[in-house]
Chains A and B, each alone.
Chain A
Amino acid sequence: MKQVLFILFIWAVGLMFCACGGPSQETGSTTSAAASADGGMGAIQDDASKRNVVQVAISSPDHTTLVAAVKAAGLVDALSNPGPFTVFAPTNAAFEKLPAGTVESLLKPENKATLTDILEYHTYVGVIRTDQMRDGQRLNQVNLKNVVLTVENGKVKVNGKANILASVPASNGIVHVIDEVLLPE
């Protein structure tokens, strides 16, 4: 009898851990979808496509702060969307220029709205290559505020301050690496 009860106990505990079906577990004749069954576009398993703007940032060792911020703001799925997006991507060094403690504070859950607003200020819906940028051009960013581009001797500055260090095409847009964090007025 004791043995039966023990088996029942083991079975119950086992059920607790695996009955819900892991991401790719066979359940009868159906297979659950990949990681995204319950997730968004950021969770899609796809190693054939070119990298999207989020994946471009993730692959860059100079953008770990930005990636942490995008994750904290819950924008991974939205930026994995077909877009197209132009993302101004501040480097880690750019974030370090902010007053001490700013980044840590922004990453706190209670400051998610402010962080989201800042990140949306770095994103434009549409693809703008540097050769399409004109002096004085305004881009109305996702947070509805404008950034202003200036072009001097072929060099583009964003809001008169941030330099575009490099531009990386992505499957769903373009990433312009910048050396300053853009702060909405």
Chain B
Amino acid sequence: MKNIIWIAIGFALVVAALWQCKTKGAAGASTADAAQKVYVAPGSYDEFYNFVSGGFNGQVSVYGLPSGRLLKIIPVFSVFPENGYGYSEETKAMLMTSHGFVPWDDEHHIAMSLTHGEQDGRWMFANANNTPRVARIDLGTFRTVEIMEIPNSAGNHSSPFITENSEYIVAGTRFSVPLDNQPDVSIETYKENFRGTVSFIGIHPQSGHMNLAFQVLLPGINLDLSRSGKGPSHDWFFFSCYNTERANTLLEVNASQNDKDFIVAINWKKAEEYAKAGKGKVKKVRYAHNIYDEKKHMATTKWEEEVIVLDPKELADFVYFIPCPKSPHGCDVDPTGEYIVGSGKLAAVIPVFSFSKMQKAIAERNFEGEYDGIPVLKYDAVLHGEVKKPGLGPLHTEFDANGNAYTSFFVSSEIVKWNLKTLEVIDRVPTYYSIGHLCVPGGDTRKPHGKYVIAYNKITKDRYLPTGPELAQSAQLYDISGEKMKLLLDFPTIGEPHYANAVPASLIKDKSVKIYPIEENQHPYVAKGEHEAKVVRQGNKVHVYMTAIRSHLTPDNIEGVKVGDEVYFHVTNLEQDWDIPHGFAIKGANTAEILIMPGETQTLLFKPDRVGIFPFYCTDFCSALHQEMQGYLRVSAPGSNIPLKYSTGAPQQPPQ
């Protein structure tokens, strides 16, 4: 009996010890249960695609959720030597601008195409902050297929947010500047000469092609973030702004003087009517519009020459200012379209505005005055209420389907959950560290999928094994299915994880392209079989129509090329087999490799600088004989008369 009691005591202590572990703090709680919740068994798929804009890397990275596994990096505004984007002759045009070829940009936000305010899984749009551009990614191929430069713009930050039926994406200026084609002016003339603009870029409902429909001219304020309305507020777009002081130096101090800046409300339907009725001014501009043709496997640049500009000082009743405390950053619209959440990044308060109150205030002309000729609504007339003392440095808000909002706080490094109607704080969790944007699957749309909120952090410090001064930035995944948020997973990311969308995998996975049908390949230099492989000289340009199939390149012996020639290796991948890409590189080429997907043609330009033999080979491990997939180019002196000659598998001389 005594023994049994001892055993019972011992057992109880063990249980107590284990139980204590399970309930110890946030990190403790995130171990046992959390591991199970984020575990995606080998061979199983994640539930969501998580598209994360990469900030300063100019790319979009794609993760699976809840596992946090990295699935893909999509180069958008930056060259990508890994697959030849921006290096191959076909993709160079994607990065063309009125300033010439720009190989990098700072990509801040993404926006999934919407139908009836819900994610439709067709395209992902992205913005370039530095040299203003917007891009469209096709979600069948996960490739950037269109990039349009924005004229009359600088610092394209409030972009590419989207309307409920993908009618428009927007591009708002973080830097006000003199409009294009203005005379040389002093920076000191900021208040007279510098203007902000919002561009409305129409999206073709079938092809997705973009066109710059019109621009709205604004005073020299700094537009920050933006969202379209939803449901009842469908016709409206909302932009936060700072620097209503219109300072042009030391903004750290000078743009924080006014107690309130604005949320800019634009009735885009009315603006559209004005533009269609010819009420705008047509301005001469020049901007690049780059489209990738997936049949020709090639991008081309079209130069656009005009833009319609609408001035709210001349055209009434489509632009209003809503006062908003202290340099608002986030400007988010809830799923019902009634609430517009501003987040003053320097304020310890979240003002929530009411769309119906805004409509009433506009109808009653309840203005507190004008700012540069544009009516300013009365704060109290438009305010639904304020979330008091929610945390420090509120930035961005996303929503669940149950009337809750999730706001990120940079300074106090946390996510705060609060109720939209009562404005009461429900829960808060720390993030590691200093969160910027956050993402709830569908949490920016009319139909949030809920389940998780992901924190994208700016500071990592000690979260992972140290890797020198430059660290990967961290993301954390929290379960939001209950009243309290629970930390599940901490994962490092690529670039600066700026903003993100999470999309149910079912919207995308079944339409993912596996191969390009070779019979549909319209590339001008395609070789649709080894019998079409050839080498053609046109002056000093040598075009190699090369094919790649397991496990040889055709031709693989080339002679008759001379120093001073430009050799174009047009490599067609003849495979029609899922996940058999080939790659191509040649010694001494001043460019990156190219990767060629099955059925595709891509071109590497080689300018030989010396006489010699230049080996080339397949760079993507394709088969058991991948290592044998190689060849030689002979380069002769400029004046030599070696004839052009090419072959694969020509009879070998027997050894002497």
Contacts and interface: CB of A to CB of B under 8 A. Distances in A.
A77 B348 contact: no
Contact of A144 (B16, B17, B325, B432): B325
A116 B51 CA distance: 38
Given A77-B412, A78-B411, A125-B393, A41 B459 contact: yes
Contacts of B34: none
Nearest to B433: A41
A38 B410 contact: no
Interface in B419-465: 430, 432-434, 458-459, 461-464
Interface string A75-116: 001100111100000000000000000000000000001000
28 contacts: A8-B10, A12-B13, A16-B17, A19-B17, A19-B20, A20-B20, A20-B24, A20-B28, A34-B462, A38-B27, A38-B28, A40-B430, A41-B434, A77-B430, A78-B413, A81-B410, A81-B411, A81-B459, A82-B434, A82-B458, A120-B392, A125-B393, A126-B253, A126-B256, A128-B253, A138-B257, A142-B348, A144-B347
Contacts of A13: 13
Contacts of A125: 346, 393, 411
Contact of A36 (B434, B462, B464): B462
Interface in B1-31: 3, 6-7, 9-11, 13-14, 16-18, 20-21, 24-28
A132 B325 CA distance: 24
Interface residues of B, number: 47
Contacts of B10: 5, 8-9, 11-12
Contact of B413 (A41, A127, A138): A41
A33 interface: yes
Contact of B17 (A12, A45, A128, A143): A12
Contacts of B259: 140
Nearest to A139: B256
Contacts of A9: 6, 9-10, 13
A140 B17 contact: no
Contact of B432 (A36, A45, A82): A36
Interface in A7-25: 8-9, 11-13, 15-16, 19-20
A37 B412 contact: no
Nearest to B5: A5
B326 interface: yes
A81 B433 contact: yes
Contact of B253 (A11, A44, A132): A132
A47 to B, nearest CB: 12
Given A5-B3, A41-B433, A82-B459, A16 B392 contact: no
A126 B17 contact: no
Contacts of A12: 10-11, 13-14, 17
B17 to A, nearest CB: 4
A20 B28 CA distance: 8
Contacts of B17: 12, 15-16, 19
A84 B9 CA distance: 55
B66 to A, nearest CB: 20
Given A12-B13, A16-B13, A16-B17, 13 more contacts: A5-B7, A5-B10, A15-B13, A15-B17, A19-B21, A33-B464, A44-B462, A78-B412, A125-B346, A125-B411, A140-B326, A142-B392, A144-B348
B432 A126 contact: no
A20 B434 contact: no
B346 A140 contact: yes
B13 A44 contact: no
A46 B471 CA distance: 15
Contact of A46 (B325, B433, B461, B464): B461
Contacts of A166: none
A149 B392 CA distance: 23
B112 interface: no
Contact of A33 (B13, B257, B325, B463): B463
Contacts of B250: 132
Contacts of B3: 1, 5
Interface string B387-413: 001001100000000000000001111
The 7 closest A-B pairs by CB, nearest first: A12-B13, A16-B17, A38-B27, A8-B10, A15-B17, A5-B6, A20-B21
A174 B3 CA distance: 66
A144 B28 contact: no
Interface in B534-562: none
